[in-house]
Amino acid sequence: MRVSTSSFTQNMSDNIKGNLTKYQDLQNRISNGGKLTVPSEDPLAYSYMNKMKDARTQIGQYTSISKKLGNDLNLYDGTLSSTSKLLTEIRTVAVRAANSTLDQVDLNNLANEVNEKLRSVVALGNTNIQGKYMYSGSKTTAEPFEVTLDGETIKAVTYTGDSTSFHREVGFNDTIKINYTGEEVFMNKSADGVNIMDEIITLRDAISAGNKETITGQLEKMDRAQSQVMGYSAVNGNKMKHLENLSTTMEELDIRYAKNEEEVGSLDMATLINALNTQQTSYQATLYIAGQISKVSLLNYV
Amino acid sequence: MGQSLFSISRSSLLAYQQAINIAGQNVSNLQNPDYTRQLSVINSNVLNNPSNITADMSMGIKLDDVRRVRNELLNGYYRTENNQMQKLQTSQSVYEQVEFMFNELGDYSLSNTIDEFWKSWQALQESPDDMSLRKNVLQDGGFLADSIRLKNEQLTDLAGTINNNVDYEITQINNLLEQLSDVNKNLTKSWIQSSSERNQLLDRKDAILDTLSGEMDFQIVNQEDGSASIYINGTPMFYQDKFRTLNLQADGTIKLNTGEDVTINGGKLAGYVEMRDTTIPKYQQMLSDFASDMITNVNKLHQNGYAKDGTAGLAFFTGTGASDITAAISDPTKVATALATLSSSENINATGKTVDSTQTISGQLDSFKTAVDDNSGNGEFAINGVSITWNANDSIDEIISRINNYTGDPLPGVTASWNNEIQKLELVRDPFVDTTPNSPDVTISDVTGNFALFTSLSTATLNKNAEGSGENALAISQLWSKKTVGTPASWTLDEEYVSFVNMIAKDKNVLDNLTTNKQSLVNNVKLQRGQETTVSLDEELIDMMKYQQSYAACSRLVTIADEMLSQLIEKTGIAGR
């Protein structure tokens, strides 16, 4: 094969350029932490990485939402526990009123005590978090329970909220109901439900009137009211547990997805550095050979 | 004899002198890429004696020809491969710009902007009352619309820049054709006798054809006189003393100045035209399809919902595609976070409550379970006039299955389920399932009146002013992972965009590989051609030494002839002095 001077230098130049390009590509990849620099370097990896990135962004969102919802559910837990405690206290007062021989003054005192506890139950129903009423359905800016007073005595309690349920997405395809309306918790109109406000008013009036038969009847209503509140408390507890489990699952998923993203989208730094060293050696060898060979010419000898 | 020796020496000295000149010419053109090395063809200088063939006499040597070392097969191969490579490289450079434009692995990519948009809806669904979150949704929506429009404009600008390049390449081609026309004219002139001068013109012709092969595809017919006839799409570019030129028309097409249409399939020009007319419009269409799907899906849900002031039917985006997508609202209170909900816990109206066709409703048939559990008789209710009956012995699951497995038209998108938490049957309408044209609404009615609750629901109304509700924001945020694109819906909007970017990446990846391979092929052909046609310094130096030695030998011949003559003249016939 004939080798001409210019084809020799052309070949030498092509080899140097080729090596330098590979050297530069590796240098860019390493400077970028081993990650892809443009999608066209590996379209399949880019597509997979994007899925992982998307999933991790969503996990971040779900985690943040779950934390906020966890706080809301904690507050529901607090108000439901307090309501349950108040119902127990009201029942205790009712038992005293049913079993003791009391004069009117004592009865009035007990009725007043029940009235005050009812006021506390109403206050719990009107709890708000940063301006949002918890038990008002979608009418979050207005107090859901209005009371009609006769002096200090609560004559009636009216629910002015609505029955809207809120659902929030807390995980992939995982949506939970995150509110309880005042109607379902405190004034449940379903067949098995108890209108706690009305029943307390009936009990208070029976105590005031010394009507032991009604008081005894209301004890059973108070038990059902207690069950109703505890039922929601249990449901709420399960949701809190669910969010806790979800949080752990999300953390694990995030770690796994991050690892997958890293594995697919990034090359191992040790492998890259090794490749860079090899490329560097190859580049140096090309330059050295080019330098050595170009020194040799027949011109040096004639 | 002496005379003959002198003649031989004279012709040989002249021939070697010329050969040394040629070698010198070769050496001096060592770095000239257009130069083709020349070989001195030296032959015996024979004097013919027509009367006696045996009396032909060798009269030294002569430089018969100065031959250009050229291989037309490799020339053709190089030009074909170079033509394809230049097209690939041109497309590659445009792809690089497109990929850089989308910068998908950077922090400010469009996919990140899309994610931010969904994130802001997700945050809003959690706190729909929060005005700052409502503003975030509007800002991110506006930014998304602006970003899509900007990408579309950048693609349009790129197509414009490419068109300028098309114009530039056409000018280049016309210049080359003009130069070639000049070379052709000179080659056909009879006064060009010198091989060297002729070779120079042929070098120029080959250099022009090499460059032209990178610009466009054409056919060459080499004429005997060395000139080249060029054809584009079968039309000769040179005729009589004139040459045709290419012209870029206002509509972007290319024509010859004589009016013929031209289709260019190779070289830089074809690369630019293909990117301008096919690739960029294809990407713009895909971006526009994505924008259109984004507008349709978000608007479909947003128009279902209710703003803080109870307004319904508001579009979130205006426009039809990537060129005109714009955020439609600027007032945060107009973000429709709420869905219409039925104000009564008992829900569906016995008299035939009609719910808007595009709404997601969550209707609950209260006491349904009680009625079924109690085996209190048979019953029937109707969904869009389709009778759903139940017998005393049917379980809830059987009745639910009867609704969900109904395959007729009137129940599009209606699914039933038992909500254990609230102990109610829920009927949910999916707004993504189209209704039949004649039955756009869902109407539920109690046929037999067995459900006592139905009779007491005449006051159930849609509550549109549910300011605390984030159900619609939730539905919109779920577009992040909901498959809504395609028929049947099989992609999420994110997947649609990623597949678009992925297509650019894949196209470029394939092109990168093709270009690298083609570049390597062109380099090899070029090397192969160069090995034959370009100058080797060592070779030329050896030739020069060879010719120098021969020249010295011939001059020695003169000395010998001189000495021989001297012998005759000075030493012979002394007696006569």
Closest CB to B531: pick one of A3, A166, A172.
A3
* CA dihedral of B129, B132, B134, B135, whole degrees rounded to 10: 160
* DSSP letter (8 states) at residue B534: S
Mean pLDDT (chain A, rounded): 88
* Cα gap A146→A160, rounded to integer Å: 7
How many CB pairs (< 8 A) connect A and B? 173
What angle in degrees, to the nearest 10, is found between the helix axes of B72-102 and B131-187?
A: 160
Neighbours of B357 (CB within 10 A): 16
- Chain B residues near residue A297 by CB distance under 8 angstroms: 537-538
Contact indicator for B309, B285 with CB cutoff of 8 Å:
no
Q: Note whether A189 contacts B345, CB cutoff 8 Å.
A: yes
In a domain, A157, yes or no: yes
Mean pLDDT of A250-255: 90
Which of B432, B463, B494 delimits the end of a domain?
B463
- Chain B residues near residue A234 by CB distance under 8 angstroms: none
Neighbours of B228 (CB within 10 A): 21
Does A30 or B380 have the greater pLDDT score? A30
| Structural Rg of chain B based on CA atoms | 44
* Cα gap B163→B166, rounded to integer Å: 5
Q: Note whether B534 contacts A302, CB cutoff 8 Å.
A: no
Residue B200 has pLDDT above 80, yes or no: yes
Contact indicator for A5, B536 with CB cutoff of 8 Å:
yes
Distances (CA, A) of B304 to B326, B327, B341: 19, 17, 12
Residue B458 has pLDDT above 50, yes or no: no
In a domain, B182, yes or no: no
Closest CB to A169: pick one of B478, B504, B545.
B478
Residue B75 has pLDDT above 50, yes or no: yes
Contact indicator for B534, A4 with CB cutoff of 8 Å:
yes
- Chain B residues near residue A10 by CB distance under 8 angstroms: 526-527, 530
Which of B463, B494, B511 delimits the end of a domain?
B463
Q: Note whether A6 contacts B535, CB cutoff 8 Å.
A: yes
In a domain, A3, yes or no: no
Give the three-state DSSP class for A56. Answer: helix
* Cα gap B60→B45, rounded to integer Å: 5
Closest CB to A7: pick one of B111, B506, B531.
B531
Q: Could you tell me how many helices (H) and strands (E) chain A has, helices first?
A: 7, 6
- B381 alpha-carbon distance from chain centroid: 59
Neighbours of B471 (CB within 10 A): 26
- Chain A residues near residue B533 by CB distance under 8 angstroms: 4
- Chain A residues near residue B499 by CB distance under 8 angstroms: 47
Distances (CA, A) of B501 to A191, A263, B288, B415: 57, 21, 13, 36
pLDDT of residue B161: 94
Closest residue in chain B to residue A164, using alpha carbons only: B341
Q: Note whether A164 contacts B341, CB cutoff 8 Å.
A: yes
Where residue B398 falls among pLDDT bands split at 50, 70, 90? confident
Residue B43 has pLDDT above 70, yes or no: yes
| Per-residue tokens: B273 | 């035209």
Does B372 or A99 have the greater pLDDT score? A99
- Domain hosting A167: range is 52-258
Q: Note whether B523 contacts A189, CB cutoff 8 Å.
A: no
| Per-residue tokens: B299 | 């608007």
- Chain A residues near residue B468 by CB distance under 8 angstroms: 132, 136-141, 164, 166
Q: Where are the alpha helices (DSSP H) in B217-278?
A: 267-274
Residue A6 has pLDDT above 50, yes or no: yes
Contact indicator for B307, B335 with CB cutoff of 8 Å:
yes
Q: Note whether B421 contacts A177, CB cutoff 8 Å.
A: yes
Residue B199 has pLDDT above 70, yes or no: yes
- Mean pLDDT lowest for which of A49-58, A275-284, B85-94? A49-58
- Mean pLDDT lowest for which of A32-41, B120-129, B511-520? A32-41
The pLDDT tens digits for A153-189 are 999 999 988 777 788 888 887 888 888 999 889 998 7
Picking from B134, B158, B138, the residue whose alpha carbon sits closest to that of residue B146 is: B138
Mean pLDDT of B102-113: 87
- Chain A residues near residue B470 by CB distance under 8 angstroms: 166, 168
In a domain, B433, yes or no: yes
pLDDT of residue B519: 92
pLDDT of residue B50: 59
> How many domains does one find in chain A?
1
- Mean pLDDT lowest for which of A121-135, B82-96, B455-469? B455-469
0.95 surpassed by complex ipTM: no
Neighbours of B484 (CB within 10 A): 20
* Cα gap B65→B71, rounded to integer Å: 17
In a domain, A270, yes or no: no
SS3 for B267-332, per residue? HHHHHHHHHHHHHHHHHHHHHHHHHHHHHHHHHHHHHHCECCCCCECCCCEECCCCCCCEECCCCH
In a domain, A92, yes or no: yes
Mean pLDDT of A185-206: 89
- Domain hosting B560: range is 2-69+535-576
pLDDT of residue B206: 94
Look up tokens 């699914």; give the residue.
B415
* Cα gap A116→A90, rounded to integer Å: 10
Q: Note whether A6 contacts B105, CB cutoff 8 Å.
A: no
Mean pLDDT of B269-274: 96
Q: Note whether A168 contacts B470, CB cutoff 8 Å.
A: yes
pLDDT of residue B36: 92
* DSSP letter (8 states) at residue B567: I
* Cα gap B58→B45, rounded to integer Å: 6
> How many domains does one find in chain B?
2
Neighbours of B242 (CB within 10 A): 11
- Mean pLDDT lowest for which of A157-171, B70-84, B274-288, B395-409? B395-409
* Cα gap B118→B116, rounded to integer Å: 5
Residue partners of B318: CB distance under 8 A and separation at least 6: B295, B324, B325, B326, B327, B328
Where residue B395 falls among pLDDT bands split at 50, 70, 90? low
- Name the range with the highest mean pLDDT among B235-244, B367-376, B445-454: B235-244
Residue B94 has pLDDT above 90, yes or no: yes
Q: Note whether A164 contacts B466, CB cutoff 8 Å.
A: yes
Q: What share of chain A is helix, strand, coil (3-state, %, to 5)?
A: 70, 10, 20
- Mean pLDDT lowest for which of B160-174, B395-409, B497-511? B395-409
| Residue from B534, B541, B546, B548 whose CB has the most chain A CBs within 10 Å, to mutate | B534
Where residue B412 falls among pLDDT bands split at 50, 70, 90? low
* Cα gap A184→A180, rounded to integer Å: 7
* Domain of residue A89, CATH code: 1.20.1330.10
Picking from B252, B210, B258, the residue whose alpha carbon sits closest to that of residue B233 is: B258
Closest CB to B30: pick one of A2, A6, A54.
A6
DSSP assignment string, B149-218:
HHHHHHHHHHHHHHHHHHHHHHHHHHHHHHHHHHHHHHHT-TT---HHHHHHHHHHHHHHHHHHHHH---
DSSP assignment string, A64-97:
HHHHHHHHHHHHHHHHHHHHHHHHHHHHHHHHHH
Distances (CA, A) of A58 to A35, A67, B419: 22, 14, 27
Contact indicator for B426, B418 with CB cutoff of 8 Å:
yes
CA angle A45–A50–B89, rounded 5-degree value: 55
Look up tokens 């379209």; give the residue.
A43
Closest CB to B480: pick one of A3, A58, A189.
A58
Quote the minimal CA–CA distance from A24 to chain B in Å.
Answer: 16
In a domain, B38, yes or no: yes
- Chain B residues near residue A163 by CB distance under 8 angstroms: 341-345
The residue type found at A84 is S
Q: Note whether B345 contacts A183, CB cutoff 8 Å.
A: yes
Closest residue in chain A to residue B121, using alpha carbons only: A61
Residue A138 has pLDDT above 50, yes or no: yes
Q: Note whether A138 contacts B468, CB cutoff 8 Å.
A: yes
* Cα gap A196→A88, rounded to integer Å: 13
In a domain, A13, yes or no: no
Mean pLDDT of B199-208: 92
Look up tokens 């590659």; give the residue.
B92
* Total residues found in chain B within this entry: 577
Q: Note whether B474 contacts A175, CB cutoff 8 Å.
A: yes
Residue partners of A102: CB distance under 8 A and separation at least 6: A96, A110, A210
Neighbours of A236 (CB within 10 A): 21
The pLDDT tens digits for B140-166 are 999 999 999 999 999 999 999 999 999
Q: Pick left, alpha or beta for residue A173 (phi over 0 → left; psi -120 to 50 → alpha; otherwise beta).
A: left
In a domain, B549, yes or no: yes
Give the three-state DSSP class for B418. Answer: strand
The residue type found at B504 is I
Q: Note whether A4 contacts B523, CB cutoff 8 Å.
A: no
Q: Note whether B104 contacts A39, CB cutoff 8 Å.
A: yes
Q: Note whether A61 contacts B31, CB cutoff 8 Å.
A: no
Q: Note whether A7 contacts B538, CB cutoff 8 Å.
A: no
- Chain B residues near residue A59 by CB distance under 8 angstroms: none
* Cα gap B499→B491, rounded to integer Å: 10
Which of B463, B479, B505 delimits the end of a domain?
B463
- A156 alpha-carbon distance from chain centroid: 38
Residue B566 has pLDDT above 80, yes or no: yes
Quote the minimal CA–CA distance from B532 to chain A in Å.
Answer: 7
* Cα gap B306→B336, rounded to integer Å: 4
Mean pLDDT (chain B, rounded): 81
In a domain, A79, yes or no: yes
Which helix (H) or strand (E) element contains residue B509?
Answer: helix B493-533
Closest CB to B105: pick one of A39, A58, A131.
A39
